Amino acid sequence: MARDLLLEIGVEEMPSAFMGRAIADLKANAQKQLDDARLSYKEIRSYGTPRRLTLWVQGLEEKQPDALLEIRGPKKSIAFDQEGNPTKAGLGFARSQKVDFNNLEVREVGGVEYIFVIRKEKGNASTAILPKVLLDIINSLTFPKSMRWGYYHTRFARPLRWLLAILDSEKIDIRVENIKSTNETYGHRFLSSGALPVKDVQHYFQVLRENYVILDQEARKELIRKQVLDVADAAGGHPMENEDLLEEINYLLEYPTAFYGQFSPSYLEVPPEVLTTSMIEHQRYFPVFDNQGNLMSGFIGVRNGTDYSLDTVRAGNERVLKARLEDALFFWNEDNRKPLVDMVNGLKEVLFHERLGSIMDKVERLQTLAVAIGEACSLSDAATLKRTALLCKADLVSSMVYEFPELQGIMGRYYAIKSGEKTEVSQAIFEHYLPRSAGDILPTTESGKVLSLAEKIDNLTGCFAIGLKPSGSQDPYALRRQAMGIVHIILDSGLSLDLAALVGKAYDNFADIQTDSNRKDTISEVMEFIVQRMRGVLLERGYSYDLIDAALAVPSNDITDISNRIKALQDLRQSEIFDDFMVVYNRCHNLSKKWQDDSINTQVLVDESEINLNRSFNLIKYDVYRSINAGDYLGACKMLAGLRPEVDDFFNAVMVMVDDAELKAARLGLLKAIANLCNFIADFSKIVV
Amino acid sequence: MNFQEIILRLQNYWGKQGCIILQPYDVEKGAGTMNPATFLRALGPEPWKVAYVEPSRRPTDGRYGENPNRLQHYYQYQVILKPSPDNVIELYLDSLRDLGIEPDKHDIRLVEDNWESPTLGAWGLGWEVWLDGMEITQFTYFQQCGGFDCFPVCAEITYGLERIAMYIQNRESVFDIEWVDGISYADVHHQTEVDYSHYNFEVAAVNTLSTMFNLCEEEAQKIAARHLPQPAYDYVLKCSHLFNLLDARGAISVTERTGYIARVRNLARLVAGEYLEQRKRLGYPLIKDEELRKTLIIDEEVL
C-alpha cells in the first residue's frame, strides 16, 4: 500500500533570496535520493516559508522491490589454480561475501572471465530506509552562504530548530545535531504558540492553516498579489509591478495582510525614482500610481500577520517612511544648492580602481575618448561630448547617490536639468550607463551613444590592461555585460567604426599607469572578448552559428560590417542562387585548399573550358571587389554564383592534377583566385549545407 | 517608559537570563562589538554571557545636532550569548515584551542582514529586526573574529536604544526622547553633538591624528609582542577611532583608505591570536565543567 511521507525542516528565519532555490533543490534532492534507494512514488512537492522547508511525497511504496545484485570478484584465473581448485584469493572473496565457494558463478566481462556472487536482495520496508534517505536529503541542501551555530558543526542557511518526519501517521526517527525528529510542528511565530501535534499528513496542512501559516509559496504569493491590488484599488490607484519585490515579500512572511499607508504630498517634489527606491529598497513597500501614472502619496506594505491592531502597524510604518523621505528631501535640497559642475572636483576623492586611479582620472580619459568616438562615427560634437563627459560622473558625490547608489545617472540627469545644462547633455548623462542589464533600454541621443561606448571601452580596456579579465562565473566588474552593451549600441545604430583603433586610444589614456598587458595584446584581447559577446548576441537574435562563424573568420574591427556580412549570408542561404554559389565555392576551394599561389599563368591554359572560366572570372572580378567594398555582399555572391556553368564545364572537361607542373599550377591558381575572392566575404567552408 | 527605564529593564531582563552585566569599556569605539567583552570573548572555547550598554562613536555621522535621526555618539545595548542558545530568538522577543512591545500587536520581521567588519576581520550571519518597518536590532551569529573561526558560535544582539526609545515614546526626533522626567536627550547630549561635529569635521588636527595613529599602531605591536592581549587591544581601539576621525576630517584619500583598514585589521588579528594563546595557557578557566575542560585541553594537545 502506498503511503504519504512528510518532512518539515524548521529553521530560524531564512534569507528570502535563498528560498526559491532551496525549495526546488529540496524536491530535486528527494527525487534523487528516493530513486537511488529504489523507492517509487507518485509525486513529490516541496514548499517553503521563512521558517520551514517542507517535503511531501505522495504515494510512496511501502517496500523496495527485490533486487538482483551482481558482485564481481577476482578473475577466474586468479580464483582457481591450474587444477581447477579454489585459490586463497577465491576462497577469501567467497568468505568476504559470506557465501559458499561452490555457489559462485563465472561470468565474462569484456572478454575476461570473473567469479561473481549473484545475490537476491529482499527489498526493505521503506520505514527501514527512510531515516537515511531523509538525512541525505537534508544534508545535500546547499546555500549561497551557510553558517554554524551553538556547539554544532552542521552548516545550514540559518539554525535548524525542529524536524517533523512522518509516514502517514507513523513517526520516522532522525536526528541532526541535537534536533530529534517528532510529529510536532510550529505555527506562526506570533499568532500561535508551542508545539502542535500532527496526526498525519493531511492533518499537518490543516494544523498550519489553523495556525496562520500559508505553506504553499505560490498560493501565498497570489494572495499577496491580490491583496496589494485590492488595497491599491481601494485607494484609487494601482501598485507598481515588481515581481522581484513580490517574491522577496513572499519569503518574508507566513501570513500576509496588505495595508495602505500615506505620506505627506509635500515629498512628491522629490523625483519619483528617489521615492520609489526608498519605498522598495529600504522598506519593501509597493509604490502606488494614480490613473495618469503619477506617483501617489501613499504606499502598500504587507504585514506578517492578521489585521489585528493593523492601525498601530500602519502608523509605525508611516513614521519610518516619513523619516526616510525627510532624509531624501534634505539630500535633494542640499544637492540642488549648487550647480552639478561644482561636484566634479569631488571626484578626485572617489576611487575608480586602486590601480586605475580616481573617478576624476576616468572623467579625463572619457573626455578624450568620447571626442575620438564622436569623430569616428560622426555623432554629436566635441564641445557637447566634452561637457557630457565632464559631468557624467558628478552625481557620484551627491548626497542622494551616496545614499542610493542605484540612482546614479538618474540623479545626474535631474541635477543637470536644474543646473541649466543642454537637454542633450542632461539626457546623455543618464544614458551613458545604458544598458544597465540584459534587455535594458539603449541610449537614444547621439552624445548618449558616444559616452556609453566610451565608458564601456574605457572599463574593458583598463581592466584587461591590468589583468582583470572575467573567468568562468567570475566577472566582478560586469565586463561581459558591458561588452554586450557595446555590441548592442553599435549594431542597433548601425555605427561603422574601427573598434580596435578606439581600444588603442583608450589604452593610450592609461599611459601613466603600470599595466600588465602591452598595447597590442590588450587590443587583441579586448576585441576577441567583444567579438565573442557579439557571437552570443547574434545567436540570441536567431542567426545560425555556422553563418556567424563563417563571417567572423574574416577578421574585421568593424562589427557592423561583420553583422552585415552575416545578414548577407542569411539572405544568400534563403535565395535561389545559394546552391550555385556553394557549388562554385566548394569545387574551387576543395581542390585548391592546400595551394597557396593564386596567380594564373594564362599563357599555358589550353582547354576551352578553362579559358572560358578564366575569362568569365576576369569579367566579374572587379565588380565583385567593388560590391564587397560597397558592402553589397549579396550582390557579390550573386556574381560569383553566376560562374556555376563555367565551373561545372571546367571540372567536366579537364583534370586539374596533371603531370605538367606549369599547367597544374595555372589551373590551381585559377581555382584559388576564385576561392580567395569568395573568402573576402566569409569563410564559406564553415557553412553547413 | 523613559530612556533610563528602558536601559534598566534590559539590564534586569538579561541579568535574569544569567548574563554578567558589565559596564561600558573606557576606550572610544564605533560599536559594542569592539568592546573586548565581545571581540575577545567571542574567541576560543569558553562560554560567556554578557550584557552592557555601549556608548558608540561614529564621527562621520555627526550632523551638528540638526538631524533628528543621526548622531555621532549614541548608545547600543549589547548582549552576547556564547554558545548561542536554541531559544535565542524567543529570549530576544521576550525582552521586547518586557519593554512593553507585544509582538502580536506589531509587525516584527527578521530580515536577512549579514554583518562584516573589515577592520576587525570579523563577520557573521543574521538579521536586522524590524518593528513595524523600523530597524531596532541587529542580530548576528558570529562566524569569524580577528580572522579566527568562532567555535562555539555566539549570538550577538545589538539593540539601537535611541530607536527603541523613539518608538516607545512616539517621538520623531531623537532629541525629544525623555531621559528621565523633565530631562530630554537633548538636555544631556545636544550641545556635545554640536561640539563634536565641529571638532570632528573642522578642528581635529590631521597631522597630530596621523602621528597618533602611527604611535598607537607601534605601541599595539610592542605590547602584543609582550603577550599582553588586552592592553594591546586598547591601542587597536585607539587606532580604529583615530582612523574614523581622520576619515570624518576628509583626510584619508581613497587610495589610502584600504591601507589604513588593513593596518587596523592586522593589529586586530595579532591581538586575537595572542588572546587565544593566553586563554589556552590559562587552561580555559571559564569552562566550569572540569571534565569538559580537561578533554578540551587534551584534544588540543593531540591536535
- B114-129 tens-digit pLDDT: 999 999 999 999 999 9
Kindly state whether residues A38 and A163 are assigned to the same domain.
Answer: yes
Q: Kindly state whether residue A557 falls inside one of the protein's structural domains.
A: no
Q: How many domains does chain A have?
A: 5
Residues of A in contact with B107 (CB under 8 A): 301, 303-305, 313, 316-317
Residues of B in contact with A151 (CB under 8 A): 83, 151-152
Whole-number average pLDDT of chain B: 94
Q: What is the DSSP letter of A339?
A: -
Residues of B in contact with A301 (CB under 8 A): 107, 133
Kindly state whether residues A459 and A409 are assigned to the same domain.
Answer: yes
Nearest CA in chain A to B83: A150
Identify residue A163 by its one-letter amino acid code. Answer: L
Q: Is the pLDDT of residue B297 over 80?
A: no
Out of A254-263, A431-440, A507-516, A595-604, least confident range: A595-604
Residue-by-residue DSSP string for chain B: --HHHHHHHHHHHHHHTT-EEPPPPSS--SSGGGSHHHHTTTSSS--EEEEEEEEEE-GGG--TT--SS--SEEEEEEEEEESPPTTHHHHHHHHHHHTT--GGGS-EEEEE--EEETTTTEEEEEEEEEETTEEEEEEEEEEEETTEE-SSPPEEEEEEHHHHHHHHHT-SSGGG-EEETTEEHHHHHHHHHHHHHHIIIIIS-HHHHHHHHHHHHHHHHHHHHTT-HHHHHHHHHHHHHHHHHHHHTT-S-HHHHHHHHHHHHHHHHHHHHHHHHHHHHHT-TT---HHHHHHHHHHHHH-
Q: How far is the C-alpha of A35 from the C-alpha of A288, rounded, in Å?
A: 49
Give the torsion sign (CA, A569, A570, A575, A581).
Answer: positive
Q: How many helices (H) does chain A have, and how many strands (E)? A: 25, 18
Residue scoring higher pLDDT (A44 or A355): A44
pLDDT of residue A354: 78
Kindly state whether residues A601 and A577 are assigned to the same domain.
Answer: yes
Interface ipTM: 0.94
DSSP three-state, residue A418: helix
Count Cβ neighbours within 10 Å for each residue of B117-130 and write b for 16 or more, e otherwise. Answer: bebbbbbbbbbbbb
pLDDT of residue A484: 95
Residue scoring higher pLDDT (A596 or B86): B86
Q: How far is the C-alpha of B302 from the C-alpha of B287, rounded, in Å?
A: 19
Q: Hey, where are the domains in chain B?
A: 3-201, 205-302
How far B133 CA sits from the closest chain A CA (Å)?
5
Residues of B in contact with A159 (CB under 8 A): 84, 86, 141
Could you count the other beta carbons within 10 Å of the beta carbon of residue B266?
Answer: 16
Residue scoring higher pLDDT (A684 or A351): A684
Main-chain phi, psi angles of B214, to 5 degrees: -60, -40
Residue scoring higher pLDDT (A217 or A353): A217
Mean pLDDT to the nearest integer, B272-280: 96
Whether A252 has its CB under 8 Å from any CB of chain B: the answer is yes
Whole-number average pLDDT of chain A: 94
pLDDT of residue A296: 97
Whether A191 has its CB under 8 Å from any CB of chain B: the answer is yes
With bands split at pLDDT 50, 70 and 90, how would you rate the model's confidence at A2? confident
Domain boundary among A176, A210, A244: A210
How far B226 CA sits from the closest chain A CA (Å)?
32
Peptide bond into A86 cis (omega under 30): no
CATH of B205-302, one of 3.40.50.620, 1.20.58.180, 1.20.120.1200, 3.30.70.260: 1.20.58.180
Q: How far is the C-alpha of A611 from the C-alpha of A480, rounded, in Å?
A: 53
Kindly state whether residues A483 and A374 are assigned to the same domain.
Answer: yes
Question: For residue A398, what is the enclosing H or E element?
Answer: none
Q: Do A317 and B132 touch (CB under 8 A)?
A: yes
Nearest CA in chain A to B97: A190
Nearest CA in chain B to A302: B107
Whether A313 has its CB under 8 Å from any CB of chain B: the answer is yes
Peptide bond into B152 cis (omega under 30): yes
How far A309 CA sits from the closest chain B CA (Å)?
5
To the nearest 10°, report the CA torsion of B159, B164, B166, B169.
-150
Q: Kindly state whether residue A543 falls inside one of the protein's structural domains.
A: no
Q: How far is the C-alpha of B14 from the C-alpha of B9, rounded, in Å?
A: 9
Mean pLDDT to the nearest integer, A250-278: 96
pLDDT of residue B290: 86
How far B225 CA sits from the closest chain A CA (Å)?
32
**Contacts for A599-605: CB closer than 8 Å, 24+ residues apart:** A599/A669, A599/A673, A600/A666, A600/A669, A600/A670, A600/A673, A601/A662, A601/A665, A601/A666, A601/A669, A602/A666, A604/A660, A604/A662, A604/A663, A604/A666, A605/A663, A605/A666, A605/A667, A605/A670
How far A144 CA sits from the closest chain B CA (Å)?
12
Q: Do A147 and B153 touch (CB under 8 A)?
A: yes
Whether A325 has its CB under 8 Å from any CB of chain B: the answer is no
Q: Kindly state whether residue A59 falls inside one of the protein's structural domains.
A: yes
pLDDT of residue B254: 64
Kindly state whether residues A497 and A625 are assigned to the same domain.
Answer: no
Chain CA centroid to CA A528, Å? 20
Whether A351 has its CB under 8 Å from any CB of chain B: the answer is yes
Identify residue B240 by its one-letter amino acid code. Answer: S
Nearest CA in chain A to B85: A150
User: How many inter-chain contacts (A to B, CB under 8 Å) are there?
Assistant: 107
pLDDT digits 0-9 by tens, A480-503: 999 999 999 999 999 999 999 999
Q: Kindly state whether residue A407 falls inside one of the protein's structural domains.
A: yes
pLDDT of residue B249: 87
Q: Are A497 and A377 in contact (CB under 8 A)?
A: yes
Q: Are A217 and A254 in contact (CB under 8 A)?
A: no
Kindly state whether residues A371 and A487 are assigned to the same domain.
Answer: yes
C-alpha distances (whole Å) from B45 to each of B147, B275, B285 are 16, 12, 10
Whether A256 has its CB under 8 Å from any CB of chain B: the answer is no
How far B82 CA sits from the closest chain A CA (Å)?
7
Q: How far is the C-alpha of A123 from the C-alpha of A179, rounded, in Å?
A: 30
Domain boundary among A210, A229, A245: A210
Q: Are A674 and A656 in contact (CB under 8 A)?
A: no
Q: Is the pLDDT of residue B303 over 60?
A: no
Domain B3-201 in this protein, CATH class: alpha beta
With bands split at pLDDT 50, 70 and 90, how would you rate the model's confidence at A189? very high
Residue-by-residue DSSP string for A32-63: HHHHHTT---SEEEEEEETTEEEEEEEEE-SB
Q: How far is the C-alpha of B184 from the C-alpha of A240, rounded, in Å?
A: 42
With bands split at pLDDT 50, 70 and 90, how would you rate the model's confidence at A145? very high
How far B36 CA sits from the closest chain A CA (Å)?
20
Beta carbons within 8 Å of A20's beta carbon, 6+ residues apart: A247, A251
Mean pLDDT to the nearest integer, A120-135: 91
pLDDT of residue A517: 93
pLDDT of residue A231: 98
Residues of A in contact with B141 (CB under 8 A): 147-149, 159
Q: Kindly state whether residue A8 falls inside one of the protein's structural domains.
A: yes
Kindly state whether residues A396 and A499 are assigned to the same domain.
Answer: yes
How far is it between the farthest Cα atoms of chain B? Answer: 63
The closest alpha carbon to B29, from B62, B61, B57, B70, belongs to: B57
Whether A311 has its CB under 8 Å from any CB of chain B: the answer is no
Kindly state whether residues A145 and A287 are assigned to the same domain.
Answer: no
pLDDT digits 0-9 by tens, A9-40: 999 999 999 999 999 999 999 999 999 999 99
Out of A271-285, A637-651, B254-268, least confident range: B254-268
Across the interface, of A149, A178, A301, the residue whose CB is closest to B133 is A301
Whether A402 has its CB under 8 Å from any CB of chain B: the answer is no
Q: How far is the C-alpha of A426 from the C-alpha of A431, rounded, in Å?
A: 9
Kindly state whether residues A388 and A254 are assigned to the same domain.
Answer: no
pLDDT of residue A403: 85
Kindly state whether residues A455 and A390 are assigned to the same domain.
Answer: yes
Kindly state whether residues A100 and A206 are assigned to the same domain.
Answer: no
Q: How far is the C-alpha of A394 from the C-alpha of B281, rounded, in Å?
A: 56
The closest alpha carbon to A621, from A603, A607, A601, A636, belongs to: A636
Q: Do A320 and B133 touch (CB under 8 A)?
A: yes
Q: How far is the C-alpha of A128 from the C-alpha of B97, rounded, in Å?
A: 45
pLDDT of residue A109: 87
With bands split at pLDDT 50, 70 and 90, how would you rate the model's confidence at A84? confident
Residues 470-509 of chain A whose Cβ lies under 8 A from any Cβ of chain B:
none
Do strands B122-131 and B115-117 pair parallel, antiparallel, or not at all (unpaired)? antiparallel
Q: How far is the C-alpha of A618 from the C-alpha of A614, rounded, in Å?
A: 6
Question: Over pLDDT 70: what percentage of chain A?
Answer: 100
With bands split at pLDDT 50, 70 and 90, how would you rate the model's confidence at B301? low
User: Whole domain around residue A130: which residue ranges?
Assistant: 3-63+125-210
Across the interface, of A13, A148, A149, the residue whose CB is closest to B127 is A13
Residues of B in contact with A13 (CB under 8 A): 109-112, 127
Do strands B108-112 and B122-131 pair parallel, antiparallel, or not at all (unpaired)? antiparallel
How far A631 CA sits from the closest chain B CA (Å)?
49
Q: Do B255 and A148 touch (CB under 8 A)?
A: no
Kindly state whether residues A377 and A465 are assigned to the same domain.
Answer: yes
Domain boundary among A82, A102, A121: A121
With bands split at pLDDT 50, 70 and 90, how would you rate the model's confidence at A300? very high
DSSP three-state, residue A598: coil
